[in-house]
Structure 1
Amino acid sequence: RQSEHIERYNARLETLADRRLLYPCSCTRSDIRAALTAPQEGVAHQVYPGTCRGRPMSERREGDAIRLDLAAALELLAGDELAFTESGSAHAGRHLVDADHALRTIGDIVLGRKGDGIVAYFLASAFDDADQGISHVIRGEDLFDFTPVQVILQHLFGFPTPIYHHHPLIRDDAGKRLAKRDDARAIRTYRQDGATPEDVRRLVGL
């Protein structure tokens, strides 16, 4: 369980902080929206405008988010070939990380938060995949555009990059994506209702 690895995740954060790749951020979501000149309606991810980028980690306070300085990370990795292989039919092939595109569409993501022991999915999954020797990652297509973040973290930590397969999202009868936060049906519920493993694989396009 990820909750059992918090100290190890935090140790990884400290290595990034020592390389001056992190900074504390006290901005709220409303602060971020206000700083964006043209926020787009319906876009789930808003690229952080860099309001707190000049703050050193020595100034971090309780409750601050810890952000990755993506431009600094990309500069540090300028000599690396940042790439990943995708086996899902929608994006099959070898993908090179476009630094300019990543800066425009992803930006300085949150990797953790001081005081509450929470680390972001991107950091935890990059660490866990390497720790467990994962060679293939299967996940929803909504995460495809964020794969460059994990490739960047893998290179920063010296981790191997697994092969990725992004599958179509499972949707309900109304076409809405099933999400845990919306109390959507779990896979086990489909199984209890008589769905076979083949039915479940078909739902995700496998």
Structure 2
Amino acid sequence: MTPPVFRFAPSPNGYLHLGHAYSALLNFQRAQESGGRFLLRIEDIDPTRCRPDYEQAIYEDLAWLGIAWAQPVRRQSEHLTEYGAALARLQATGLVYPSFESRAEIARLVAQRDGGGGWPRDPDGAPLYPGQAKMLSEAQRAELMAGGAPYALRLDMAAAVARVGRLSWEEAGSGPGGETGAVEARPAAWGDVILARKETPTSYHLSVVVDDALQGVTEVVRGRDLFHATSVHRLLQALLGLPVPAYRHHQLIRDGQGHKLSKSTLATGLRTLRAEGVSPAEIRHRIGLV
């Protein structure tokens, strides 16, 4: 029997906090208990927000917590050609199209069509893309792209869902509504998601499924805030013929007001706590992993 493979995949766009510590330690602990492997992946596809000093801090904080990971570390910025190849496969199916509107222009389009405030929104609360670019001809699209216009490459969600049919995944944890066991994927709730942009040949959704497949990840243990994104990941796995890992979405560590921790919450940064003399054992106690 092949040992399970777990991973922790932070973005170096800020310092790790207690929520990251919980997810990293939980994955590391499960890998140790099962005789599996623990991988560290650096999700650094956004060059405007990711910084080398944040990446170095990730290594330092995880080592301080007592976590060891297999080498080499996979850095997404070094594998853009692999994501580009996956994107090309999707483009060959006719399920991908370019859109050219800025965020402000999309907001105006939604406002124009949203008569009674009922425009559909994705699970994160953002309004769905209204599909304006679908009305452009191939010649118009080619002209805009050749002229250097900024664009995003979107998945035609309705066509993609029609192609693969119903999908599900096995949830060993639970979703925000207590969903567990066999969960039906609902990717249509996200609308025509972005798979890449002119300046970046990938997106979180595309790169994460490609990485998990190429690295042989069998167990995805991550925060409950990514539960609904799993629907998009299942769709991309089906379209690309990729293996499906087991999923376990865990609780989120929250602050005193009940808000999910973010990298801007400096008081909970591991780097800050370490400087204040907090021990790794105390970190485990605070997040309930004793």
TM-score normalised by the chain length of structure 2 = 0.60
Alignment of 1:69-84 (within 5 A): 69-78=156-165, 81-84=166-169
Match of 1:64 among 145, 151, 156: 151
- Rate the CA distance shift 1:40–1:177 in 2: closer, same or farther, 3 A: farther
Aligned residues: 195
Match of 1:50 among 102, 120, 131: 131
Q: Partner letter of residue 14 of structure 1?
A: A
- 8 A Cα contact 1:83 1:95, kept in partner: yes
**TM-aligned CA deviation for residue 62 of structure 1:** 4.4
**TM-aligned CA deviation for residue 118 of structure 1:** 4.8
Match of 2:95 among 21, 35, 38: 21
Alignment deviations for residues 36-70 of structure 1 (CA, whole Å, 9 cap, x no partner): 313589x6332111111244464534420111111
Match of 1:171 among 230, 254, 261: 254
Match of 1:193 among 260, 272, 278: 278
Task: Give the secondary structure class of the aligned counterpart of 2:77.
Answer: helix
Alignment of 1:54-133 (within 5 A): 54-55=135-136, 56=138, 58-59=142-143, 60=145, 61-78=148-165, 81-89=166-174, 90-98=178-186, 102-103=187-188, 105-114=189-198, 116-133=199-216
Q: Partner letter of residue 53 of structure 1?
A: K
Alignment deviations for residues 104-125 of structure 1 (CA, whole Å, 9 cap, x no partner): x2100011101x2252111000
Larger radius of gyration: 2
Q: Say if 2:288 is the partner of 1:202.
A: yes
Q: Partner letter of residue 288 of structure 2?
A: R
Q: Partner letter of residue 106 of structure 1?
A: W
In 2, Cα distance between the equivalents of 1:174 and 1:45?
Answer: 24
**TM-aligned CA deviation for residue 190 of structure 1:** 5.0
Alignment of 1:27-38 (within 5 A): 27-36=101-110, 37=114, 38=117
- Rate the CA distance shift 1:40–1:111 in 2: closer, same or farther, 3 A: closer
In 1, Cα distance between the equivalents of 2:158 and 2:244?
Answer: 20
- Rate the CA distance shift 1:189–1:161 in 2: closer, same or farther, 3 A: farther
Q: Partner letter of residue 112 of structure 1?
A: A
**Which structure has the higher relative contact order (CA within 8 Å, separation 6+)?**
2
Task: Give the secondary structure class of the aligned counterpart of 2:83.
Answer: helix
- Rate the CA distance shift 1:200–1:45 in 2: closer, same or farther, 3 A: farther
**TM-aligned CA deviation for residue 189 of structure 1:** 5.0
In 2, Cα distance between the equivalents of 1:187 and 1:162?
Answer: 29
- Rate the CA distance shift 1:130–1:40 in 2: closer, same or farther, 3 A: closer
- Rate the CA distance shift 1:49–1:70 in 2: closer, same or farther, 3 A: same
Identity, % of aligned positions: 36
**TM-aligned CA deviation for residue 29 of structure 1:** 1.9
Which ranges in structure 2 are unaligned for 5 or more consecutive residues?
1-74
- 8 A Cα contact 2:100 2:149, kept in partner: no
1:137 counterpart residue number: 220
* CA RMSD across the alignment: 2.6
In 2, Cα distance between the equivalents of 1:5 and 1:88?
Answer: 30
Return 55-64 or 82-91, whichever deviates more: 55-64
- Rate the CA distance shift 1:64–1:158 in 2: closer, same or farther, 3 A: same
Alignment deviations for residues 67-123 of structure 1 (CA, whole Å, 9 cap, x no partner): 111111112213xx511111114322011224xxx32x2100011101x22521110
In 2, Cα distance between the equivalents of 1:35 and 1:144?
Answer: 29
